Amino acid sequence: MNELVNSIRERYLGALDKIASAAKRSGRSPEAVKLVVVTKAQPVQTARAAIEAGVRILGENYAEEGVTKIQSLSNFSAVEWHMIGHVQSRKAQSVAANFNFMHSLDSLKLARRLDRFCADAGRVLPVLLEFNVGGEESKGGWEASDEARWAMLPGEVAEIFSLANLRVCGLMAMPPLGGDANASRPYFQKLRRLRDYLALQIPQAGLNELSMGTSSDYEVAVEEGATYVRVGAAIVGARHYTTENA
């Protein structure tokens, strides 16, 4: 077990170093970037080892799997659990009740449901809005690959911003996979431009956070303004898929 903690700690500290260097290269402060360690499709003991290695923000993609880990590791109270995957309507209640932060809010309908369940639970959930900047049909989020159509977006964003129990903090994207890290750069730049555009249209919404970059391209994401990077395999190793969470 100690060996697992040590190897995760080494890779976690290494990633923090790379984030700090990338931030400095682009004239940013290393503290401006938060590292979410993605433990989806990993056993509970890997999430526990990550916490023991010093990780403070864990990311999960699947509501049920995440809630199981949150409940079995609830004695580690200083840890934040972030939902980073698509949430089905029927899982909204459990996400609203258990997660500290959501990166992947992808529809007005889900926003209204989450808002209602957060009100019931007496909490406010900080959220990021997910945008599909690569135009892939398989990807979630508001379609935003065509800049000529961005004018359609501020209406829904403003409506979500008006929901009392959600706090919209910024934007998230998952660019097309494959290619080298630099292939992601134009998509990261596009998400940042979209943030700047929406911030002009809805100045009252503080859209400060940009969640972008995974194991393969997080340094480039930091160079392009990421405030959250979501890194799984490069820190906790290859995923252990089962039929339940594949």
Give the residues lining the site for ligand PLP (CB under 6 A): 38, 40, 61, 84-85, 174, 214-215, 230-234
| Distance in Å, CB of 174 to ligand PLP, minimum | 5
Of the pair 202, 232, the CB lying nearest ligand PLP is at: 232
Of the pair 28, 230, the CB lying nearest ligand PLP is at: 230
| Distance in Å, CB of 23 to ligand PLP, minimum | 18
Shortest Cβ contact with ligand PLP: which residue? 232
Question: Residue 127 and residue 104: Cα distance in Å, rounded?
Answer: 8
Of the pair 171, 202, the CB lying nearest ligand PLP is at: 171
| Distance in Å, CB of 242 to ligand PLP, minimum | 15
Of the pair 111, 213, the CB lying nearest ligand PLP is at: 213
Please name the residue that has the structure tokens 């398989």: 138
Question: Residue 185 and residue 176: Cα distance in Å, rounded?
Answer: 11
| Distance in Å, CB of 82 to ligand PLP, minimum | 10
The alpha carbon dihedral of 230, 235, 236, 242 has a sign of positive
Please name the residue that has the structure tokens 């959930």: 125
| Distance in Å, CB of 67 to ligand PLP, minimum | 17
Question: Residue 195 and residue 119: Cα distance in Å, rounded?
Answer: 27
Q: CA distances (Å), 63 to each of 66, 69, 81, 120, 164, in order?
A: 5, 10, 11, 19, 23
Of the pair 8, 202, the CB lying nearest ligand PLP is at: 8
| Distance in Å, CB of 15 to ligand PLP, minimum | 10
What lies within 8 Å, CB to CB, of 158 at 6+ separation is 201, 202, 205
Of the pair 157, 174, the CB lying nearest ligand PLP is at: 174
